Structure 1
Amino acid sequence: MKITLFIEADGSVDANHLVVNFKNFAAAYEVKTSIISVEKYWKIEQMYEALLNIEETSEGNVPKLLNHIASNWMELPHNILASRTMDHCQIFVPYLYMINVFRGE
């Protein structure tokens, strides 16, 4: 299981700090993650894309975590996502613009 975060940040140092904060936030809900990458998102100024891996032993705790990230989720065949631009969706994590959780096939 993987998570893609789209976060608003002033630079790469800030983006990395925010991703580590998210990792700690997830750990509070017993979801252990590892950071794969944090890169500037080419489409939007001051936006970074972070890819995290969720440890297989933590996957059962993901639904509990998701309820504390956003009020509404769009379910697709292999992933679920939440975005500030979705109708009736409030993101509870301040710097987070969009999150995509890839559940696999």
Structure 2
Amino acid sequence: MQFSLFIEAINLEETKKFLEDFYKFAVKYGVSYSVTNIEKYWKIDEMYTISLEVDKSTRKNVKTMLSNIASKWEEYPDDLLASKTMEDCEIYIPNLYMIVVYI
């Protein structure tokens, strides 16, 4: 299982600070992961993407964590999506613009 996080950040340092806070958030729900990539998002200024690989042993805890990330999720055959641009979707984590969960 992989996550793609789209973060509103002006630089890499701000992105890393977000990642530290997200790590604390994930630990609270018993989810562990490894960071596989961090890069500036080429389509939107002041946005970075972070790719995460969720540890297999903690995948059972992801569902609970996701309900505390966003109020609404769109379900597709191979992934889940929550975004600030979705109607009636509230993202509970500051600076998180969008998250895609690849199942």
Q: State the TM-score bracket (shorter-chain normalisation).
A: over 0.9
Distance 2:21 2:84 in 1: 19
Instruction: Give the TM-score normalised by the residue count of structure 2.
Output: 0.97
Distance of 1:2 and 1:82 partners within structure 2: 14
Secondary structure in 1 matching 2:26: helix
Q: List per-residue Cα deviations over 1:16-70 (Å, max 9, x = no partner).
A: 1212211221111001011111100000000000000100011100010001000
Aligned CA-pair RMSD: 0.7
Give the Å deviation of 1:83. Answer: 0.1
Note the residue ranges of structure 2 that are not aligned, 5 or more in a row.
none
Contact 1:79 1:101 in 2 (8 A): yes
Contact 1:39 1:50 in 2 (8 A): yes
- Report SS of the residue matched to 1:81: strand
Give the distance between the partners of 1:24 and 1:42, measured in 2 at CA: 28
Partner secondary structure for residue 70 of structure 1: coil
Q: Does 1:97 align with 2:97?
A: yes
Equivalent in the alignment of 1:70: 70
1:96 positional shift:
0.1
Aligned 8 A contact 1:8 1:48 in 2: yes
Contact 1:33-1:53 within 8 A present in 2 as well: yes
Q: For 1:1-105, list aligned pairs within 5 A.
A: 1-103=1-103
In structure 1, the gaps of 5 or more residues are none
Size of the alignment, in residue pairs? Answer: 103
4+ long deviations beyond 2 Å? none
Rounded to whole Å, the distance in 2 between the matches of 1:67 and 1:45 is: 28
The answer (yes or no) to whether the contact 1:70–1:92 under 8 Å persists in 2 is yes
